[in-house]
Structure formats: C-alpha cells, structure tokens
A = this chain, B = another copy of it.
C-alpha cells in the first residue's frame, strides 16, 4: 500500500491530527512543526488520499463533464478548457460521452453524482424538466443551454448569425438561403433566432431550408435545394455542412464565391485550410469552458440564490467564400 498520513506522523514525531492540520490549515500549527511535517511528507512522497478526505469533508475535489460526442471538435475544445481550468483549481475531471442520447446524459450525471462536486452538462438534448431533475442530484452548470435557476455558460450564436447576415447584406446580397440544422437543438434555435432578427431588420428575402443532418452529407443534399431557390448566398448551420455545400457546388460547376457566397459556423480547423477558405463564425469554446468551471466553483460555495448565465461573444471570421453577388 501507499504511504498514509500515519507514516508521515510517525516520521515527523507528531500525531496524525497535526499532520492533517499542517496540510490543510497551516495557521493552526506552529511554523516549526509545520516545516517538520512538510519535510516528512515530501521525503516519503506522501499524497493525501482524496477519497478518504472526501468521505469526511463531503467534497470530492472532482468535477464531471458530460458531452454529446467526443469526436466533435467543438466539445473537445470545451473539454480542453474545462480540464485546464479545473486542474488549475486543483480539481480532477471525469468525462463521459452520451453519444447524443438524452437518456444517457441523465444516467451519466446520476452515475457521476456521488464522485463529483458538480458537473458541466454540455448542450443537453434533455427536456427542461429532465434537466431540472438532474440538477437536483448534483450541482449543475449548463453549457449552451438556458434554464432559469441553473448557472450557464453560453455562447452568443444568435449574435454571430446576426453578424453573418449583416456581412452578407453589406456585400449586397438580398436573397439568402439558410440551411437548418436539427430543429430541436438549442444551437439551431439560437442561430435561427439571430438570423430572423437580422433578416427582419434588413428586410431581405430568406429561404428557409431543411432541417438537414449537421454533417457533410447534409450539405451535399442541401446545396441543390439552395441552388434551385436562386439565392445569391447560402448560410449553413455549421462548417461541416458548409463544406458539403462547397463540394457539391464544385461538382456542379458552380463557382464560390463567384456565383454564390457560402458561410459556415464554428470555425473548425479545416474551415481555414480549404480553398477558398470558409467565411464562418468562431465559437469561444475555450472561454466558455473556463467560464463553466468558474461558475461551478462559485456555485459550490454560494447560497444558490442567483444562477448567473454568462454569455461569451462569437466572432465573424471573413475569409474567401463571401463576396458581393454578381450583377
């Protein structure tokens, strides 16, 4: 077995209680004693057993994160930031992948509950009521989902989509197609909301297509429909769909941005690597991830009266797939 607090106590010629105090409440022990204890601890390579500590303090020093898909760079971006911020705060992180299954999401949170102080639930597909239920079993912070009473780290996709339309309109586009992602997803609803506001403001024509699968194939399928609608610009739900659109357009001999402008959403790595490079909206995944952890940590020692929802700004990245329409 590993080295325990008792080994340290023996070596430092003090009681286990003193060792414990030296480690967790330094002010309660004489500096001299403290140094002796610390020395003994490092000499033995002592690492407190967090499970044992948690048993008594009721805090585990762990947080959990549940994501819909670990193959999606959007969520791993969040994960990376969550893990980094958590480590900084001396928390370890559990991950779980729900595989886009709402039922699994709830199950996973339940399973984690006993081992963590709280969990970050990313873009859940759960109904509001189920999210509430889950928020009852452990401290919850939502990412990209809004629910009164539950803290949330949000990204302003509506604003990003608004910027996309502003951009296209400024270029002179007057008839624009939007390729919807999954109707029920919060992301699509938000993006659509920003779109609608902007479209109404500018008084331009919107051709609302879909929903399509938020994948390359969805883009392939959508491209032909958008073309048939004779719009000068195509706004895709996300980058992957946009890449599908680009591919199909190329196959049909339609030039981008010559004949039609195309935009994506997310700013995945390869949006900048394809040619022409894709005009898109960058999501502040890292910032949102950090914020989520901060919210969780704050929530843990708050009286739970107000649940903040913090919005991180998106950013329009103008690249090569948008120009003024031909006239």
Contacts and interface: CB of A to CB of B under 8 A. Distances in A.
A94 B97 contact: no
Interface stretch (A73-81, A196-204, A318-326): A73-81
Contact of A275 (B54, B79, B83, B247): B247
Interface stretch (A7-15, A18-26, A43-51, A160-168): A43-51
Nearest to A53: B51
A2 B54 CA distance: 14
A1 B51 CA distance: 16
Interface in A222-248: 243, 247
B94 A93 contact: yes
Contact of A50 (B73, B114, B274): B114
Contacts of A247: 273, 275
Contacts of A87: 96
Given A92-B94, A93-B95, A70 B60 contact: no
Interface in A72-123: 73, 76-77, 79-80, 83-84, 87, 92-97, 99, 110-115
9 contacts: A51-B55, A62-B115, A70-B76, A83-B96, A92-B96, A92-B112, A93-B94, A94-B94, A243-B273
Interface of A: 1-2, 47-52, 54-55, 58, 60, 62, 69-71, 73, 76-77, 79-80, 83-84, 87, 92-97, 99, 110-115, 216, 243, 247, 250, 269-270, 273-275
